[in-house]
Amino acid sequence: MFADEVVRRLAPRDDVDLTAYAVTWRGRGRLRSVVPPGVAVVERPMAARPLHELWRRSDHPRIDRWIGRHDVVWGPNYVVPPTAAASLASVHDLTTLHYPEMADGFTLAYPDLVRRAVARGAWIHTDSDFVRGEVIDHFGVDPDRVLTVHLGARAAAPPPPGAPRPERVPDGPYVLALGTVEPRKDLPTLVAAFDALAAADPDLRLVVAGADGWGADALTAAVAAARHRDRVVRLGRVDEAVRAALLAGAAAYAFPSRYEGFGLPPLEAMGAGVPVVATRAGSLPEVCRDGADLVPVGDADALAAALGRVLGDAGHRDALVARGRAVAAGYDWDDTAAGIAALLARVAASAT
């Protein structure tokens, strides 16, 4: 999402000339179909796994042999290859350092690739000041070469007036969680919190929408152990129309993450006018500010109490929704693209 949102906004600018490249063998031949008009495309195939292994250990081969000479080479997803040009890597979080058990073999290489890029003099972009501090501490980067440009937030379009309710969207009040089911999202703690709330509200349900990632068995086990398991609804992957309808109908949005480098899902919910309860994990206090009720990581009792207040106190809920809308409105993808453009110009100037 990040690269797509930014590139679509950079493409029409007069001060940036973009060339798109993709270090992927599986996706070879598809790049031209996804980049916007005005972006040049390098169509020479590159195999990611062997190149990443080489780049973890050396500064060869340089990407220039495939893409030619440029002022700046930007890696929008952690990996910026060796190059004779100035370089910039976008580092979105340090999950693989903090929670290697939550990463796969491919992403486990990211810290080594970032470390080598830093040693070559690469600049680093981060989505939050929280991650900026982590990058400086973990990789020993010159703070002047690590800059934050926040992401934008795109509120889900509300269903048109009179549109039928999708069959997969339940009637009645529900707490909503959206996103891929994975350990970092700590959905078992949300199930425990919901189980405590459900005893006092026989109509309340918990709706979890998102594809099963690795580690989904923990959620399955938590649901099986819950007293009110029959009111936990798992929808799996949903399309944009159902996603928007789920947000429009939610009584509250829960985001019990154990670690975040930014936090787009709660911002999306806040922009849709849904009261949000999230954890104080990683960047979430910085990003959500006072637009969400924040609780300690892994504390099911605190999560249940915060959700109960949102559901039961209309005055608090209305105030939280108003603050959430105001916070979400401050994150705009146009601003993100402008910030990246300015950062690219700064990186290019540093090499002259």
Q: Which two tokens stand for residue 250?
A: 């939610």
Q: Which two tokens stand for residue 192?
A: 């425990």
Pick from 173, 351, 137, 326: nearest CA to 250 = 173
Where on the phi/psi map is residue 35: left (φ > 0), alpha (ψ -120 to 50), or beta?
beta
pTM of the model as a whole: 0.95
Task: Find the farthest-apart pair of alpha carbons in the chain and give their distance in angstroms, rounded.
Answer: 67
Q: Which two tokens stand for residue 294?
A: 């924040």
Cα 270–Cα 242–Cα 102 angle in degrees, nearest 5: 70
Rounded CA gap, 100 and 96, in Å?
Answer: 5
Rounded CA gap, 232 and 225, in Å?
Answer: 11
pLDDT (tens, 9 = 90+) of the chain, 352 residues, equals 899 999 999 999 999 999 999 999 988 889 999 999 999 999 898 999 999 999 999 999 999 999 999 999 999 999 999 999 999 999 999 999 998 887 777 889 999 999 999 999 999 999 999 999 999 999 999 999 999 999 999 877 777 776 677 777 888 999 999 999 999 999 999 999 999 999 999 999 999 999 998 889 999 999 999 999 999 999 999 988 899 999 999 999 999 999 999 999 999 999 999 999 999 999 999 999 999 999 999 999 999 999 999 999 999 999 999 999 999 999 999 999 999 999 999 999 998 7
Helix axes 314-329, 300-312, angle to 10 degrees: 100
Domains of the chain: 2-152+333-350 (3.40.50.2000), 174-329 (3.40.50.2000)
38 in Cβ contact with 8 (< 8 Å): no
Pick from 52, 9, 1, 93: nearest CA to 340 = 9
Rounded CA gap, 66 and 48, in Å?
Answer: 13
